[in-house]
Amino acid sequence: MEPDQIRAACALLYRHWSDGTRLEELPQHLRPRDRAQGYRVQARIEDFSPAPLYGWKIAATSLAGQRHIGVDGPLAGRLLAERVIEDGGTCVLGNNLMRVAELEFAFRMGHDLAPQDAPFSQEEVLAQVASLHPAIELPDSRFEHFERAGLAQLVADNACAHRFVLGPAADADWPALDLAAHPGRICRNGVLAEEGVGRNVLGDPRIALTWLANELSRHGVVLQAGQVVTTGTCIKPLTIAAGDRIEGDLGILGRVSIVIV
């Protein structure tokens, strides 16, 4: 793809995101052909944001999620600062097509991880983490039939990033915990709705974080200090509607909530 095609593809997707509208697929001349081209389109979304990049999300961290959207592995997407909602805040559901909430383990980086030739080890990545947080993601897509869009277009579509809520940093000694076995619960209007564990996220949220660091490294992107990485849902995505109060609970790692209006 030429630079003008990359800009035009991203601008088209961003316009649909801003307007709350959808498209069937990108026009042939603006359609990325593979993961790398998809990330080149996605990267230009930062041009539309008034603030530094807030962080990163990982989509399709379970086999069920991968089958649902027709991909063979996880996808990385960018979290824009203006799309982040404060803990306990409200979110207008609007024309959200997916209409689900996802409970996630999120990490804030304390130091940069610059691209390198060799893959990062999990130990190398965790050594650069400043804090662990509970989080809720409210994903969406700019494609009417996102399950048929294919990997390259979904990457270009920012891996279905939309809205995001970050809870407070965990006070517990989280590096000493078995995050794979750590439970998560999400309630809708005070009633337990879904339960899960950390191993639902690529086997362990720390594995997912390491995958993200290496995915960015492969594509020449720095994972920067201060950025947040949310690692994918540890529960079955919870259907939401206007009027719902959603509360995520990671036990000693903390709680996070949002009201849907």
Mean pLDDT, the chain cut into blocks of 10 residues (261 residues total): 97 97 97 98 98 97 80 94 98 96 98 98 98 98 94 97 98 98 98 97 97 98 98 96 98 98 97
Beta strands in 88-180 (DSSP E): 90-91, 100-109, 129-138, 163-166
pLDDT of residue 82: 97
- Domain 3-260 in this protein, CATH class: alpha beta
For the chain, the domains span: 3-260
User: Which residues are CB-neighbours of 233 under 8 A, at least 6 positions away?
Assistant: 61, 62, 65, 102, 103, 104, 137, 196, 200, 201
What is the pLDDT at residue 66?
A: 83
pLDDT at res. 72: 84
User: What was the pLDDT predicted at 123?
Assistant: 98
Do 231 and 62 touch, CB atoms closer than 8 A?
no
Residue 62 has a pLDDT of: 80
pLDDT of residue 157: 98
- For residues 251 and 182, the answer to whether their CB atoms sit within 8 Å is yes
Q: Can you say whether residue 76 is alpha, beta or left, with left for phi > 0 and alpha for psi between -120 and 50 degrees?
A: beta
What pLDDT does residue 10 have? Answer: 98
Q: Which amino acid is at 259?
A: V
Non-local (6+) Cβ contacts of 35 within 8 A are: 151, 152, 155
Would you state the pLDDT for residue 176? 97
Could you tell me the sign of the dihedral formed by the alpha carbons of 20, 21, 23, 24, in that order?
positive
